[in-house]
Amino acid sequence: MKAALERFWDHDLAYSFRRSPVTVLAALMTLVCVAGAVFAPWLAPHNPFDLSSLNLNDAFSPPAWTAGGAARYPLGTDDQGRDILSTIMYGARISLGVGLAAVALALVLGVSLGLLSGYMGGRLDAFIMRVADIQLSFPAILIALLIDGIARVALPNDAHDSIAVPVLVLAIGVSGWVQYARTVRGSTLVEKNKEYVQAARVVGRSPPAIMLAHVLPNVTGPVLVIGTIHVATAIITEATLSFLGVGVPPTQPSLGTLIRIGNDFLFSGEWWITVFPGVALILLVLSVNLLGDWLRDALNPKLR
């Protein structure tokens, strides 16, 4: 165990991580955000969704350090007296969850199609890539809106809220598979012609076995980088959709929903309701992006 830890510490990736203060800071920031989100039920000072604990008298309480603020609500409260800090923590939970799930979906879809496309070639390749081209000519948000819209029409009214999150994941995930597919296809085309793949063919391995056992492990590097950066993009997309009102329902608000709700009060002076969720979103996305950038550089032998 100790040896394994030492090896990990000594690894080039760990070394380049240690050498970059910005990355360490970004990682810490991400860790704080993720921990705050995951452990929200235990860490948050209040449960904003426990209606019995809400007190309308506490509504519109400003942040603790300003005049009229209360120490119980460090970042103030919203129109219903919910603690902003707590709503942010619970909101980040939804945002991160939707983001990660969407990325996982896009990744699985994109990597599989990219592998198939690159390895099998021919008509299948042409078909998959043309679909990708067509999808790329629409903005991702439009695709997500479209999928969301179709789901809303197709599903019964009363089911909306309960399936809102899965639909959102599906919408964001499907709108994002193309770049995985393209990258994996490119790497697969390179790997496919390497002699180790030919060796496996001579030996008689089947195409699926070669794709999974030989090609896949060698094309994951760039996928990891795209995945990381995509988490940030997915969170933004989710926030945008929620801000537009087609995302998660207000009963279980994400960061985007919080910003939208707060937006109504921005001009009446209650700036904290929208600004703090906004800042949280920016910090989260920025940190994840910085991590992704570092990973891209660290995995690129040319920049090392």
C-beta neighbour count of 60 within 10 angstroms: 18
Contact 87, 78 (CB under 8 A): yes
What are the angstrom distances between the C-alpha of 114 and each of 85, 134, 139, 192, 227?
Answer: 42, 16, 20, 13, 15
5 vs 202 by CB, closer to other proteins? 202
Rounded Cα distance, 249 and 169, in Å? 14
Closest approach of Cβ 10 to other proteins, in Å?
Answer: 9
223 vs 241 by CB, closer to other proteins? 223
Closest approach of Cβ 76 to other proteins, in Å?
Answer: 48
3 vs 202 by CB, closer to other proteins? 202
14 vs 244 by CB, closer to other proteins? 14
Rounded Cα distance, 211 and 224, in Å? 18
Closest approach of Cβ 101 to other proteins, in Å?
Answer: 27
State the distance between the two ends of the chain, measured CA to CA, in whole angstroms: 29
* SS3 of residue 261 by DSSP: helix
Residues 15-44 interacting with other proteins (rule: CB under 8 A) = 15
Closest approach of Cβ 271 to other proteins, in Å?
Answer: 48
Interface region with other proteins, contact rule CB under 8 A, candidates 26-34, 35-43, 213-221, 244-252: 213-221
30 vs 188 by CB, closer to other proteins? 188
Closest approach of Cβ 19 to other proteins, in Å?
Answer: 9
Closest approach of Cβ 17 to other proteins, in Å?
Answer: 13
Residues 215-234 interacting with other proteins (rule: CB under 8 A) = 217-218
139 vs 217 by CB, closer to other proteins? 217
Own/partner long-range contacts of 42-51 (Cβ < 8 Å, ≥24 apart): 43/89, 44/83, 44/85, 44/86, 44/89, 44/90, 45/72, 45/73, 45/74, 45/83, 45/85, 45/86, 46/82, 46/83, 46/86, 47/86, 48/82, 48/83, 48/86, 48/87, 48/90, 49/90, 49/251, 49/252
- Residue 136 contacts other proteins per CB under 8 A: no
Closest approach of Cβ 93 to other proteins, in Å?
Answer: 35
Residues 172-211 interacting with other proteins (rule: CB under 8 A) = 194-196, 198-205
Residues that bind other proteins (CB under 8 A): 12, 15, 194-196, 198-205, 214, 217-218
